[in-house]
Amino acid sequence: MNPKKLLDYFDVAPKQSLGQNFLADPGALAHIVDIAEVGPDDVVLEIGAGTGALTRHLAGAAKRVIAVEVDSRLIPILQEQIASFPNVVLVEADILEVNAGELMQTLAGTETFQVVANLPYYITAAILRRLLENPPRPTRLTLTVQREVAERLAAQPGDMSLLAVSVQFYGRVRVAHRIKAGAFWPTPGVDSAVVRIDTYTDGPPVPVDDERQFFRVVRAGFGQKRKQIKNALAGGLGLEARAVVEALERAGVAPSRRAETLSLAEWTALTAALREHL
């Protein structure tokens, strides 16, 4: 049954504050499961199960699905929708309050899992941060997000952001598929895209001795928008301009560049050049 009919039947109104735009297009749901390459040995964490449309597609392909949903009004709907799938465990929780690794270990007996989700837009960045910064990381994440966010995640030097650097540090990002706004109910104001992030199992793609220092430098660089990197770093790290310019030159980064133009490798070189001052 489509989400509108289901919600009407259970007399539940969608809550915009929880990012409730339900995917109503069966073709798009099947395509997401294909992009995620979910197979019979896979354990999947689904975030924001909603009315269970994606959950059911996942359950048909995966070994086990742990489906997390924060809205208690949707739990009876979900229970009914997944009743014929014994491989689904439903968890009523706020994903930002749970430790995903512990949850998977407890409910699926493994810390090897992937994430598939049509994410509530308002907490996309917070969820990504939580899942990527805290091991055990998912092996891959297949996420339906606002199209503009998908493009930001996959950005190249020239259009980088703190979010893009943070995500690309942990995984290879690719925008796999676009989904028109009309595929959702209620229809959001913007199109969406499915983005797949394959996390690096052997560490980041660039050599980083100290992850904390790396992110301190990146955060400082992006801290003052549209400023030249030398000013952003001096301000953000509380350093003298002369020391920053010297480090930039040693790292081969022109002091007049802006943070959004730097590659991951350049951020790494810059962190190394600044080390004595951090």
- Residues interacting with ligand SAM, by CB under 6 A? 18-23, 47-50, 53-54, 68-71, 74, 94-96, 118, 120, 123
Cβ proximity to ligand SAM, 95 vs 115, nearer residue = 95
Closest approach, Cβ 95 to ligand SAM, in A, equals 4
Nearer to ligand SAM, 75 or 163 (CB): 75
Contact of 226 with 232, CB cutoff 8 Å? no
CB atoms within 10 A of CB 254: 11
Q: How far is the CB of 169 from ligand SAM (least distance, A)?
A: 24
Q: Quick one: 54 or 229, whose CB is closer to ligand SAM?
A: 54
C-beta closer to ligand SAM: residue 42 or 71: 71
Please state the closest distance from residue 92 (CB atom) to ligand SAM, in A. 9
- Phi then psi for residue 225, to 5 deg, are -55, 140
Q: How far is the CB of 96 from ligand SAM (least distance, A)?
A: 5
**Would the CA dihedral through 271, 200, 205, 224 be positive or negative?**
negative
CA distance 194 to 178: 6
Pairwise CA distance, residues 274 & 85, whole Å? 54
The residue number with the shortest CB distance to ligand SAM is 48
* Shorter beta-carbon distance to ligand SAM: residue 153 or 237: 153
Task: Quote the least distance from Cβ 56 to ligand SAM, whole Å.
Answer: 10
Minimum gap (Å) between residue 77 Cβ and ligand SAM: 10
Does a cis peptide bond (omega within 30 degrees of 0) precede residue 138?
no
Q: Which C-beta is closer to ligand SAM: that of 14 or that of 171?
A: 14
Please identify, using beta-carbon distances, which residue of 142 and 268 lies nearer to ligand SAM: 142
- Residue 175 β-bridge partners: 195
Cβ atoms of 20 and 29 within 8 Å: the answer is no
Residue 161 CB, nearest approach to ligand SAM (Å): 22
